[in-house]
Chains A and B, each alone.
Chain A
């Protein structure tokens, strides 16, 4: 019997302290898909529109920061400049065998993105019962955000009988 008014931030939600705990004690309730933003061409960019399912889960600014940073990473990866031309010409001349020794710039940025997503998941999203899947796992079409509910709590959105695991790292 709470006399104090319950705000969104104080709904009963168990604190998930890390990703492992999240996976073992929670069950998947829903998934939200952030679509691609094609307004500026076919470069990789995701919409920063805040989905309504996450209203009660995470602050708008945090979410937008994450998506904007991801967009910046992808823009950096796909940037066509001096270095990428040089890399391309060198690769062409050596019949692309040079990529047995070195990594392309794109691969390097992808690794940075993976690390960033892992770090965001650990610090920000898992404590709120959310998990971001790297868009490369989905063919760069969507950013998949899985919403978890604690198995112990009976929430109407978690009653689904389909149990599935997210392939997030």
Chain B
């Protein structure tokens, strides 16, 4: 078998030089693949001569394996959505407005009114930033996706419960549970392959099911769900207070300088940058943020999430435990997907091996496995491990990317 591989490889190498002269992908091209390999143990199927690979053990943090469109920083401590542009805008607006306030108005107010004013402003500002960062960086309550066994178990349960006659569309997957003597329908999430717990929802931007999903906030760059709702609410609340504070003291500042009519122009000359920016920003922020705070206070009193309010789906809030308990009392579970714990990748992550599709690997030019049939087109840079069966004995994780475009059908080796 190894000899066959070597010969095939030699043959393919010849084909490769031929292909280069044509400079377009034809049936039978050969590619160099970039392999990102983690090996945990050798297998007895590999003959000793063929294996010159290095045995590497590596534990992988769970966040590295989390499916879904989140970005992680600081080794899993920071979890955000992918689009962060508006979040940077929020930061810029808050920091910019506050620094203008501190630079231009605080000196005057501290001297003429009281030094407590800038102190309190600084405290408020730090609080706002802490809450903003906490909301943006923390996990909103992402539900981990079902592992294959659980997904199969649910599929079997669904199949057992109802047989759909051929040609008809299967009914939507719903599970009825009784919560406090009310029937609540749990929907099935096709992406995460779970029945969503009550009040959970799937965020399409982050591609995760989030428990007690409120909404996806672009200003904060993250979903707002069970685990970071309290930070979000405190953020809007303290930001409202900060905005009102700055706005009020802007006005006080103007009034104190001169009488109202002249003073605006005068102070404009003296502190050029402050007024247009500060006042404008504060004005718009006031209406939007204070409004938002009021809206969320209303929702909390009704024990509803924004999602539920918008979709008007829940008339049966009474059966759910109240929000307030989990906002005031820190009773909510921490790190559910346990992003920063280690996980040794289970072998079931690999697609199953069939005889038709086997990927060949070469380490240090030694073949260790079989060879492959490609049956798909792939763009350059695309990961081709999906849909491939990998006969990788003891290799836990492989990501194979296509360097050049592939056309099929072809048989080729992968080698490094």
Contacts and interface: CB of A to CB of B under 8 A. Distances in A.
A62 interface: no
Contacts of B130: 95-97
A85 B325 CA distance: 9
A107 B178 contact: no
B348 interface: yes
Contacts of B194: 141
A112 interface: no
Given A96-B231, A164-B348, A165-B346, A138 B331 contact: no
A50 B199 CA distance: 27
A41 B319 contact: yes
B398 to A, nearest CB: 17
A33 B332 contact: no
Interface residues of B, number: 46
B234 interface: yes
Contacts of A92: 234, 328
A141 B198 CA distance: 11
B131 A161 contact: no
Interface stretch (B83-91, B142-150, B252-260): B142-150
B281 to A, nearest CB: 23
Contacts of B338: 136-137
Interface in A67-110: 77-80, 84-85, 87-89, 91-92, 95-97, 104-107, 110
A84 B231 CA distance: 17
Nearest to B143: A139
Given A39-B180, A43-B321, A104-B334, A167 B346 contact: yes
A164 B148 contact: yes
Nearest to A93: B127
Contacts of B150: 31, 33, 138, 142, 144
A42 B325 CA distance: 13
B334 to A, nearest CB: 6
B211 interface: yes
Interface string B205-226: 0000001000000000000000
Interface string B102-134: 000000000000000000000000110011001
Interface residues of A, number: 44
B343 A167 contact: yes
B337 interface: yes
A166 B147 CA distance: 10
B344 interface: yes
Contact of A162 (B180, B321, B331, B348): B348
Given A139-B211, A139-B337, A85 B153 contact: no
A8 interface: no
B328 A88 contact: yes
Contacts of A84: 329-331
Residue among B149, B329, B332, B348 with the highest chain A CB neighbour number at 10 A:
B329
B333 interface: yes
B379 interface: no
A55 interface: no
Interface in B388-409: none
A141 B143 contact: yes
Nearest to B147: A164
B28 interface: no
B8 to A, nearest CB: 27
A163 interface: yes
Nearest to B175: A35
Contacts of B356: none
Residue among A33, A42, A166 with the highest chain B CB neighbour number at 10 A:
A42
Nearest to A78: B331
A107 B320 CA distance: 23
A92 B233 CA distance: 11
Contact of B321 (A41, A139, A140): A41
Contacts of A43: 321
A36 B184 CA distance: 14
Nearest to A139: B143
Interface string B298-334: 0000000000000000000001110001011111111
A37 B334 CA distance: 21
B119 to A, nearest CB: 16
A106 B331 contact: yes
Given A39-B180, A141-B194, A106 B334 contact: yes
A96 B319 contact: no
B337 A80 contact: no
A88 B344 contact: no
Contacts of A38: 177-179, 184, 198
B317 to A, nearest CB: 11
30 contacts: A31-B153, A33-B153, A38-B178, A38-B179, A42-B198, A42-B199, A43-B321, A78-B331, A80-B325, A80-B329, A87-B330, A88-B327, A88-B328, A89-B328, A91-B330, A92-B328, A95-B131, A104-B330, A106-B333, A137-B338, A139-B143, A139-B144, A139-B337, A162-B352, A163-B348, A164-B347, A165-B346, A165-B347, A167-B343, A167-B344
Interface of A: 31, 33, 36, 38-44, 77-80, 84-85, 87-89, 91-92, 95-97, 104-107, 110, 136-142, 144, 161-167
Given A38-B184, A136-B336, 4 more contacts: A79-B331, A95-B131, A104-B334, A110-B334
